Amino acid sequence: MNAEVRGEFERIHGLAPEGVWAAPGRVNLIGEHTDYNDGFALPMALPQTAVLAVRRRADGLLRLHSAQGDGRITELRVADLAPRTVSGWARYPAGVVWALRERGLPVGGADLHLDSTVPTGAGLSSSAALECVVAVAYEELYGLGLERPELARVAQYAENAFAGVPCGVMDQMASVCCAEGGALHLDSRSLEVRQVPFDLAGHGLRLLVLDTRVKHDLADGAYAALRAGCERAARLLGLPALRDLGEAELPRALGRLPARLVPLVRHVVTENARVGRAVERLESGEPEALGPLLTEGHVSLRDDYGVSCPETDLAVEAAVAAGALGARMTGGGFGGSVIALVRAGEATAVAAAVTEAFASTGFEPPAVLEAVPSAGARRIA
């Protein structure tokens, strides 16, 4: 894709780019809706990436073009960037430039051309990939001296304050910090990370991504309501965040909360514990033992957190019935994708079973991808 993106940049903008960068989407193995509660997560980067060709400008203009757009260039003045003033895909790269300037960093305009293979609306962090590829490119071009976790915070701030999505930092940390062949054990409070070996092929396993094609929009208010509920529960319990509540203390704590907050807290606390157990199993060389944790996590997301939907529930049920070791929805929810951990020889049968289940229910056929633990954001030319 590097040569194609360079060629398109020259065709659209008239000059060669200064460089080409890539940033991946991600799947989260376990640890969903924990990041904005200062908790733990275990994501891995995907082979699918957002690729960016960029050349700086001296006139303060930001000119954005996307291969997935309508063919037009979005032209903005950097000095005039402000939250909620840019719509569509352009709000993600524009938001990063704004967020860097909000930090007082000396960044200016640029010509950008983007192309992405990360499916949109599938719960695979296509927006974070767009943000992070701009962040790493600007960091290098302008010599900003920001470490990877700082770049992730910039990208998260862009999505929170500029695009209006109150997400945590897990997506952005995965996009910039993941390493090939591993999953990223993330502490969302300290931003400490640890690479955990995840050798699927060596253990005769594959991780399928089943995109239900149900599009989700995390800016529609439901995500914000969940986050607000968690933050209110933490305040009522006298805690900095729900991360500070352990499993042993959970029963007593739940008795002190309004009924509507009980399932939210139960999910966050048990999900944090599942992350710990998942890391133990990977580090002991037992990736197949992740299966039951995935399914257990899905039940919690479905029944306690309420972010599943009929399509994701059916994908999980059909995959497990067809022999998957475990499956769960991944991402913020309200649609998107399911991951299924399968033995390599059973991957085709599991994918076919899910497709058949969708057809018999009248759902649109799912798209099937394979998740291979891949590298984080990087310069590619």
The active-site residue out of 35, 111, 115, 171 is 171
Half-sphere exposure of residue 264: CA atoms within 13 angstroms, side-chain side: 21
**For tokens 């509540």, what's the residue?**
245
Can you give the three-state secondary structure of 230-274, one letter per residue?
HHHHHHHCCCCCHHHCCHHHHHHHHCCCCHHHHHHHHHHHHHHHH
Cα 37 from Cα 267, distance rounded (Å): 11
- For residue 380, CA distances in Å to 22, 127, 136, 178, 301 come to 7, 20, 12, 16, 37
Q: Are 271 and 174 in contact (CB under 8 A)?
A: no
Tokens of 369: 């991808």
Measuring CA to CA, which residue among 102, 106, 121, 105 is closest to residue 160? 102
Please say if 171 is a catalytic residue: yes
CA 273 to chain centre: 20
Active site residues: 171
